[in-house]
Structure 1
């Protein structure tokens, strides 16, 4: 079996369609289909089956993808080692982060990595936690987040490493009836106008958890994923919000600690199981661990 064809099979598993693989690899759909057919002949078993108008992996295809991950990882490590022996660059490390982590973590990470001579190509992408593995075909490391009560991702093709717990606080405008307090009980927030993020993101998950505790459905007036915009709306008196502690920047809002309840988001580092065996990727992961120790939840 050729490694090139195994890569195409893995791309199909990751991207879900022949057309998407063709776009990613700059091939024609017919070329992708042909290579997958050749791989099936080489393996002696059907790897794809019809699924409506498209195709999907068979059980044998999914099993071969797991082995393809191992083979491709070994080849990539060999290429890295040969590049190191030649004294040439092993390339850059592709990192995806959710936007507020990009603002918090990326500047320090780039500084740390610059000292080690490693280049990072960073992208901010606002996806829900279950969607994080979808980024792995195009990124070596994905920094994502979830409500601390939510279960971690579980897949034989994905490794999840918890990095940091960030408390979530209440922010209110100056002059609010609670603004003179340092802490606030959940029951005191039952009759408020809330500004929240879109559903499926950790802050909204926490708000729903508070609703369960109080038995009162929150009155959400706006849903905005940009924390800077949320802070501006709160400062102008258009509602209150839950925000991650280290994301609060606007000096015009008042931050209150929730009492009697644990509310936080968990930072998780997501990558392929063998990714950290590549020196450059491992160094960036170590850099992330070093950077997040600056904060504690």
Structure 2
């Protein structure tokens, strides 16, 4: 049984199409298709079948793809032991985080990685919660967030390390009348105009919960992704927004107040493919990330 064939089936299972596999592995579509035919011939049975204009794994193909995860994880575990025996840092580590988490974590984590001799490669992206899991195909560590659970959607087959629970507060200009209160009730923000995030992004859950309690929609004037932009828009107006407590910029123009009566906590987690989580360099980076997160929580 060729390990490379198993890994190819795993890539197809996780990426969903031959084209996506070809792009990710820097091969042509025809080369990937030829390797799939070779894998089927060696297996002695059909591993993929037509699905619209593409292909999908058969039951046999899915079985072998799942086996590839076990094989890759076992190989990564042995490699990590070998790296430790040779005192080798364990190679480069790629990390992607949503922007506010990247702002907090990356400076200290990069410094820790340099001290450990790890080549750390960092990227910031701001996907919807449902898109975090797919990023593990291309990054060793994905810093994700969710309002529902420490385990974001689609991560049941992934390794998840919970990092911190961050309260989500109502943000307003420091001069706003509501800033005089220590906390806010749902009824006190019912008539406000809001700066929101795109639907499907975690913070929007707070607004939909408020709407559910009120039995009517809120007035959402704008929907933007960038927290720094939201901070600026709120500080310069009488509008409200939902912003994270730890990762929002602290200044004299902005006030953050907790809201009671609705779930308003986001879970920040590191998610990884099981095999990549076993790598020595990844484990070293995770220790640094966890230490920064504990300090943040404190």
In the superposition, the TM-score normalised over structure 1's length comes to 0.92
Post-superposition offset of 1:201: 1.4
What's 2:55 paired with? 55
Q: Is 1:93–1:280's contact at 8 Å kept on the other side of the alignment?
A: yes
What's 1:133 paired with? 133
With 75-84 and 206-215 compared, the bigger mean Cα shift is at: 75-84
1:137-286, aligned counterparts within 5 Å?
Answer: 137-148=137-148, 152-153=152-153, 157-237=157-237, 239-251=239-251, 252-286=253-287
- Structure 1 unaligned blocks of 5 or more: none
Query: What is the rounded CA distance, in whole Å, between the counterparts of 2:273 and 2:6 in structure 1?
Result: 16
Q: Is 2:140–2:272's contact at 8 Å kept on the other side of the alignment?
A: yes
Post-superposition offset of 1:261: 4.0
Q: 1:66 to 1:26 in 2, by over 3 A?
A: same
Post-superposition offset of 1:93: 1.0
Q: Is 2:89–2:280's contact at 8 Å kept on the other side of the alignment?
A: no
Query: What is the rounded CA distance, in whole Å, between the counterparts of 2:273 and 2:234 in structure 1?
Result: 40
- Structure 2 unaligned blocks of 5 or more: none
Q: Secondary structure at the match of 2:180?
A: coil
Query: What is the rounded CA distance, in whole Å, between the counterparts of 1:154 and 1:239 in structure 2?
Result: 34
What's 1:4 paired with? 4
Q: Is 2:83–2:280's contact at 8 Å kept on the other side of the alignment?
A: no
Q: Does 1:124 align with 2:124?
A: yes
Query: What is the rounded CA distance, in whole Å, between the counterparts of 2:137 and 2:43 in structure 1?
Result: 24
Query: What is the rounded CA distance, in whole Å, between the counterparts of 1:135 and 1:180 in structure 2?
Result: 42
Q: Secondary structure at the match of 1:21?
A: helix
Q: Secondary structure at the match of 2:176?
A: coil
Q: 1:22 to 1:180 in 2, by over 3 A?
A: same
Post-superposition offset of 1:135: 0.8
Q: Secondary structure at the match of 2:199?
A: coil
Query: What is the rounded CA distance, in whole Å, between the counterparts of 1:235 and 1:154 in structure 2?
Result: 36
Post-superposition offset of 1:260: 4.1
Query: What is the rounded CA distance, in whole Å, between the counterparts of 1:40 and 1:8 in structure 2?
Result: 12
Q: Secondary structure at the match of 1:148?
A: coil
Q: Is 2:48–2:57's contact at 8 Å kept on the other side of the alignment?
A: yes
Q: 1:151 to 1:22 in 2, by over 3 A?
A: closer
RCO (CA 8 Å, sep 6+): is it higher in 1 or 2? 2
In the superposition, the TM-score normalised over structure 2's length comes to 0.91
Post-superposition offset of 1:62: 1.2
With 71-80 and 202-211 compared, the bigger mean Cα shift is at: 71-80
Q: What number of residue pairs does the alignment pair up?
A: 297
Post-superposition offset of 1:97: 0.8
Query: What is the rounded CA distance, in whole Å, between the counterparts of 1:193 and 1:76 in structure 2?
Result: 51
1:171-206, Cα deviation, whole Å (9 max, x unpaired): 111332212222211110000110011111111111
Q: Is 1:227–1:247's contact at 8 Å kept on the other side of the alignment?
A: no
What's 2:45 paired with? 45
Q: Secondary structure at the match of 2:177?
A: coil
Q: Secondary structure at the match of 1:248?
A: coil
Q: Is 1:147–1:205's contact at 8 Å kept on the other side of the alignment?
A: yes
Query: What is the rounded CA distance, in whole Å, between the counterparts of 1:260 and 1:52 in structure 2?
Result: 47
Q: Secondary structure at the match of 2:296?
A: coil
Post-superposition offset of 1:274: 3.5
Q: 1:88 to 1:177 in 2, by over 3 A?
A: closer
Post-superposition offset of 1:224: 0.7
